[in-house]
Structure formats: C-alpha cells, structure tokens
Amino acid sequence: MALIAIVTNAGRAALVNASNTGTAPVTISQVGLTATAVVPGAGITALPGEYKRVATISGDVVADDTIHLIVRDESTDVFTVRSFALYLADGTLFAVYGQAGVILEKSAQAMMLLAIDVQFADVAANLLTFGDANFLNPPATTSIQGVVELSTEEEATTGVDTVRAVTPKGMKTAVTSWINGRFGDGAPSDFVKGLLTAASAVAMRLALGLKSAALKDEGAGNGLDADLLDGQHGAYYSNIPARLGYTPWGPSNDGAGSGLDADLLDGQDSSYYTNIAGRLGYTPANKAGDTFTGNVIAPNVLTGQLLLPASGANQAIAYLHETGGLTFSWNRQSAGNEKFLSLWASGSITYNGSSLWHAGNDGAGSGLDADLLDGQDSSYFTNIPGRLGYTPVNRAGDTMSGVLGVTDGAGMSRLWPNGDSTLYRTGGVSGCLYLNAANSRYLFNNGSAYELAGQQLYVNGSVSWNAGNDGAGSGLDADLLDGQDGSYYTNIPGRLGYTPANRAGESFLGSISVVAGSAISVNSNISYGGIILASGDATHTGSVQFYQPNGTRLGYIGYATPGLHMNYVCENTAGHSFLGGMLYRAGSLVWDAGNDGAGSGLDADLLDGYQGSDLAKYSDFANNLSAAGYQKLPGGLILQWCTTATQQNVETTTTATFPLQFPNAVLDVQLTTRVDIASVEADTWYQLVGDPSLSGCTVMRARSDNDADRPSYCRIFALGR
C-alpha cells in the first residue's frame, strides 16, 4: 500500500547546499519506531513516543521520485509499530509517517524486515543515499531490477496501474477488450477483413459493389443540378398554396376586415375593449377627482385610514381609521390654525386634544369650570359664617350666644318693640325689665340674679316652669329646647351639616379621608365611583389593606414613598387577578398570557432575558438536509457531508466536491468508508490527500492486503466557516 510520508521543514532545509545556490545530497542512516499514532506534520522535529532507533537499514533510489528501504531488526525486542521517522546522518528528522492502524508487531523470537517504498511529490529522490545495501530487495522499475507484482486481468484492462507487470494472458484480455470497446464484440467480421486486404480504391469499390456513380461529386456546393427531387420537378414545391391546401396569411391579406384573428381579440373587435364602462358594468371614478352620483360605501377597515379630504387654503378633512379601536376625526385647517374634533374608540370626544364635557363626565370632581365659581367650589360660598367671619342672626328668630348691644344717649340702652312693652337698662350692674307701659310688670336684675317680684310667671294663662317647679313629675311639655322646636333636633343632617352614614351599610357620594395613624375597615363593596382617600404622612402614603375574617392580611395598595412608585402588594403568594377587561398602564395595554403571541403587536425589549441581537434568527440556520448537504450555524460555522460520486476498486485518488463552498476556511475533514460486503471489503479505507480547498478535497483509497479489490465509497464530513 502507498504510505504518504511528510518531509519535515528541517529535512527540506538539509537539502539546501551551504551557499544556498542549489541542493546537496543527504544520507538516511536511521529509522525511528513508535507505537503512537502520529499525525504527520512538516513542523515535527522529534518522533512522539519513540522507543527504538534502527541503524540497520538498506535502501536505494528506484525511480526519479521513489526510494526503496528495508529496515532490519534481529533483536529480541517486542514492540508494535504505528509510525516511523527517517533520520539523516546528522540526526535531523527528515520525514515522518503515521497511522491509527498497526503497521507491524514483533515478538521476541521474530526478526523484523520492514520494506518501505516512499514516493516524493516535490523532492528529487536521487539526492538521497543510504548507509547499507547488503540486504536490499527493491521493487522493479523501468531501470531497476527487483520485485514486481503481476497485475490481474481487470487491472490490465483498466490500464491505469504503473507499477504492476502484465502477463501475456492479461495483455490478450486487455487488447481484446479495447478492440471490442471500439468496434464491437467479434470485430472485425470476415467481410471487413476482406475489405482490409483490398490493394486499391478500385478493388475496394468492386468489393463494395459500387459503380461509376460513386465517382461523381454530388452534394451541397458541388454544382450538381438534379432534374427531380423525390420524383417531382421544382415547380411542384414552389406552389405553396397547393402543397398546404390553403392560402397562408401574409402582408397582402391581413389587416382590418380580413377576418384574420389578428383583427380580433378572443373574437372581439377593438371597440369592444375600449368601451371600459361596458366591460365593468359601471362608470369608474377618476383617481384625480370625480363627482359621485350615488352612495360611496367603504368596506370594514381593520388597519389604516379612510380619508375624505377637501382641497383649498381652508380645507376640511374627515377620516376614519382604526389603531387599537375605531376613531373618527374631523379637522379644519385655517391659515395654519388647526381645529380638530375626534371621536375615539374608547367613547371619549376631544376638541383640539382636550376632552369635551357632557352629562357623563361633569359634576363634582370633574374639574369642569361649571363646577367652580371664580375658581371656588360651591361649598366655599355656602359656608356663610366663613364668608362673614361670624354667624348671622336669623330675623325669623334665633338665640344669641353673645351680647346684643344697642347704643342710646343719657346712659340708657333701650330696645323698643312694636307693642307697649319697653326694655331698658339703667346704669350700674342692676337694672329692670319693664313689661308694660305702666311699669307695673317688670323683671328685676339685682346684680347677681333676675327676679319676678313675688309673682308667678304665666304664659297664656299657664304657669311658667322654673327651677322651683320643673323636674320629674312636673308635666312640663316644652315647645322648644334651647330655643329650638323638636323638628330642629330631629333634622340630624341639618344639625351635623352632612348626612351621616348608616353603619349597617351606605353609599357614599363623596370621598372618605383617613388621617395618619387611623384606618377604615371595609367589610363590603364600595359603590361604583366611590373614593377612599388614605392621606398617610410625610414619609409614606396611606394604604388600603385587605384582610380575611380571621385577621390574616392578604395584601395592600399604597404605603409608598412620596414621589416614587405606588405599591400593589399581594401577600398570599397567589398573585393579582384583574377580571372583566384588559389592563392598561399609562394608556397602553399590558400584555399577558391571554393577549400575546402571533399578531399581538407585542414588542418586547427582552426574550427570556436576552436582547434580540443575542438570539439567532431562523435564517442563520440555513441547511440542505439531503444525502449530500450542509447545516449553517450562527457565528459562521458550517457542517457539510457528502459521498464520492463513484465507487473506487483500486488504490487510487479521486476528487470530492463539497455541497457548498466554504466562504472563508476549511477547519477539518473526516473520512469514513462505506462498503457493501464487510467480509471481503473491510480491509479498505480512505485517506485525505493534501489540504482540502474551500470547494472540495482529494481522497485516496487504500487497502491492507493483496486480495482482489472490491468497490467502496468514501463518505466525507467537513467543518469550516
């Protein structure tokens, strides 16, 4: 079998003469042996795992590019050889060869004789000499006597082997096969053999039965003017209508009115097609502008806009579009001052981007200026004591909580009623209240108390109750209490200034505020539109907390640092549930497992924590998964596989082309052998010849015995970028 030995860089350097003007002869004096499967390389300077160096070698140059070596070891050493190296007389490692399989194994009783034939592709073999030739048995060449292998009939017939000798029987088989391949089996026949013996052209014509016609120069360009063609004169063939049976169309009989289908299209005249309205069944509208005499109905618009513009300096535009919902807008542009009215999919109406107030969004808390007067809420103006700075007296009747002073002259204060009674006070700490003009009824202030001088006080004929005659059992039935009728006190909202809530359940129409350090416990639903205000303190906002009946807190909303985010905390580990609609944040829809996926429009910043640039695209995995195919991977790595196009049944090379040319480099090529019959083909394998190119590689079929070759395929797996 052929061994592909690699000449090392040091070996090539040894071939250069001292003056660097040419080459110098060298002597191979030793062979190093190792059991290590060495991968040969030009940079190797020592044989890995070398256990023995043999100096008893014999060799000679048997061709311009071939040397023959015999390595002999008669020692009792036991060893296995997978790789060997050739050393020069100065110890330079000249060439190296290695393989995974065992080349030979030696026992203690055996003598090793290793015959090596090495063919060099770019080194002249006549530059090499050998130290010993006493047991040389070289292979035979055209100039060297030696051992030669006889070729088989198949090898002789193939005719490509340059090292085997052909036997006479093999030569006959090869020549016969070559003649049969060119002239057919059994050629030449006896008739042809007779023709081959003809001594002249005349004898050849006689043997073929040719007469004088064979001497005429007939054919194109020889001027032969035959009288008939297939028994007919030339005029017969020039009468084209007669030959066809009809007159063919030409420039003299086509055109309009000719009835030629070129005058019609699918049997219709051109006027048929120029009648566009007739073809459509309606008059089409001009894209540049037109007037419609009927209704224009636009189909449902899923995306995009339907525009109804008007041109001019003061143009009006109405358009209907859908972006997350149906929207209708009307816009008027006047000298750059745009006014637009929009009806949004959410149901709101805006004018120039501001909301319009209507019965559904005005009222308390709406911010509508109709809810304010000069910027103040109505409660500001209904607070009369607050506006006056004091509580006014009701002219229909009231109770004074302070002093009512009436100024008069001569040191006397007087209050003149409409009747006869007079009320006045004299100077000092005492005074009298006179109840009639005759001054016979009076109420006297002695400086410490008021006295009715020795008389009962009757009102409408009934005694007036006082500290001396009221109390339990007195039967006192007062009409007023602290000056107020009973209805005054039964009017609870009037007394409180607000309507109190029923602790058994109530609907609040305003907000509830909770001061810091206080809390509201809610055990039932809060009506739609209600507000609970938790003001908190300077460090944290208030919070709304949710408890189970057993006192376990489930979570809370709030308790956030002012100016930072609001907390929505779930403490039962089950999470938050928003039911009955979509969840929005700052006007944008929040994506969840129910509304993401294909067609959702979700534009996520990360996918499983990775940026989009971190993820490989589907296009980065281009492939051809056929028997001869490839697989591209992100980052540029390409995997390819293929099988040689033809089976090989001799030790020879063949070229394989990769399914895809590597753009930059080939990283590695691995070869395997496919055989059909393991029992007779398992001794064959393929090796890589030289370095692969971007588009393919060269492989060589080898075998380990001399049995008849069996065909096999080389399967190739290549890595590159």
CB proximity list for 150: less than 8 A, separation 6 or greater: 164, 165, 166, 167, 170
- pLDDT per residue over 84-99, tens digit each? 999 998 999 999 999 9
- pLDDT per residue over 174-205, tens digit each? 888 888 887 778 777 888 878 778 888 888 87
pLDDT, residue 410, reads 44
CA gap 454, 444 in Å, rounded: 11
**Residue 216 falls within a domain, yes or no?**
no
Nearest 5°: CA angle at 388, between 382 and 394? 75
693 pLDDT above the threshold of 90: yes
652 in the same domain as 627:
yes
pLDDT confidence of 662, banded at 50, 70, 90?
very high
**Residue 389 falls within a domain, yes or no?**
no
535 in the same domain as 419:
no
14 in the same domain as 93:
yes
716 in the same domain as 644:
yes
98 in the same domain as 29:
yes
318 pLDDT above the threshold of 70: no
CA gap 17, 20 in Å, rounded: 5
- pLDDT per residue over 27-52, tens digit each? 888 999 999 999 999 999 999 999 99
- pTM for the model: 0.26
What are 322's strand-pairing partners?
304, 326
**Residue 589 falls within a domain, yes or no?**
yes
Q: 417 is in which domain, residue-wise?
A: 413-477
**Residue 471 falls within a domain, yes or no?**
yes
Total structural domains within the chain: 6
CB distance 611 to 675 below 8 Å: no
Q: Which residues of 278-295 are buried (b: 16+ CB within 10 A; e: fewer)?
A: eeeeeeeeeeeeeeeeee
pLDDT, residue 175, reads 85
pLDDT, residue 57, reads 79
pLDDT, residue 679, reads 64
Amino acid identity, residue 2?
Answer: A
638 in the same domain as 594:
no
Which helix (H) or strand (E) segment is 192 a member of?
helix 190-196
**Residue 205 falls within a domain, yes or no?**
no
400 pLDDT above the threshold of 90: no
Give the domain-ending residue among 95, 130, 165: 130
**Residue 51 falls within a domain, yes or no?**
yes
Give the domain-ending residue among 314, 340, 355: 355
**Residue 311 falls within a domain, yes or no?**
yes
DSSP state of 153: H
639 in the same domain as 660:
yes
87 in the same domain as 62:
yes
CATH classification at residue 651: 2.60.40.3940
pLDDT, residue 589, reads 78
Residues of the chain above pLDDT 90, percent = 15
541 in the same domain as 522:
yes
312 in the same domain as 258:
no
Which helix (H) or strand (E) segment is 54 a member of?
strand 50-54
More reliable by pLDDT, 137 or 175: 175
**Residue 627 falls within a domain, yes or no?**
yes
Give the domain-ending residue among 563, 595, 615: 615
- pLDDT per residue over 481-508, tens digit each? 788 888 888 899 999 888 888 877 777 7
81 in the same domain as 51:
yes
427 in the same domain as 346:
no
CB distance 33 to 52 below 8 Å: yes
pLDDT, residue 690, reads 93
